[in-house]
Amino acid sequence: MQKTALIAGASGLIGSQLLPLLLASNRYNRVIVVGRRPVLVVHPKLEQRLLDFDHLEDHRFQLIADDVFCCLGTTLREAGSKEAFYTVDYLYVVKLAALTAGNFAAQFLVVSALGANSHSRFYYSRVKGEMEEAVQQAPFRAIHIFRPSLLLGQRARPRTGERIGAFILRTLGPILQGPLRKYRAVGADTVAHAMLSAAEASSVGTQVHSSTPARLASSGL
């Protein structure tokens, strides 16, 4: 039986790569995109639902799916404040997980970040770690957490810091071996393919996927 996928953050770097993969997948006969703005995609499987994440609970019954893909995320600079960053990268993500789990979704696949740790002295990493811990409290059959390094790809709004970082990591890539390999920059399309592959595997429990240039290696928690 074909399933329904729900994706949040479909206009972002990873989400924009993931959406066409979901639409092309034989696993899904419906793909629901939720967000404040529509994506410029037309497809017979696609359903777009415009909603306000600040009042996500008001849209509970529009969030019914088998597999939920969460690609929400910003940066401290883009958000403008720690509070705004926390709202997007923690509150929105955790609320989406809670509501979709309450609607009996089977899987939740979420993009986090390399270095996520709830005890980190770095605010960005700490919030990502806290988000991961909160999401794992939701009763999904499977939870997949993706921790990519610096992402490669074309954003609608380029981030200068990421462009500089990507150049540096591309240059250093060949010498990042062994334990340092995880710091190599990774393509957004690689992460998107890994997310779909993880969903198709229909595993059970929590899996954390760390980035490498060619694939995302998985290790269970």
Token digits for 81?
A: 């404040």
Is residue 161 exposed (0-12), middle (13-18) or buried (19+ Cβ within 10 Å)?
Answer: exposed
Q: Can you say how many angstroms the Cα of residue 111 is from the centroid of all Cα atoms in its chain?
A: 3
Q: Give the whole-number percent of the chain exceeding pLDDT 70.
A: 81
Query: What tens digit of pLDDT does each residue of 101-145 get?
Result: 999 999 999 999 999 999 999 999 999 999 999 999 999 999 999
Task: Taking residues 176-205, report their average pLDDT.
Answer: 78
What is the total count of domains within the chain?
Answer: 1
Give me the domain span that covers residue 24. 3-220
Q: Give the whole-number percent of the chain exceeding pLDDT 90.
A: 75
Task: Taking residues 48-57, report their average pLDDT.
Answer: 96
pTM score, two decimals?
0.85
CATH code: domain of residue 9: 3.40.50.720
Query: What tens digit of pLDDT does each residue of 86-97 get?
Result: 999 999 999 999
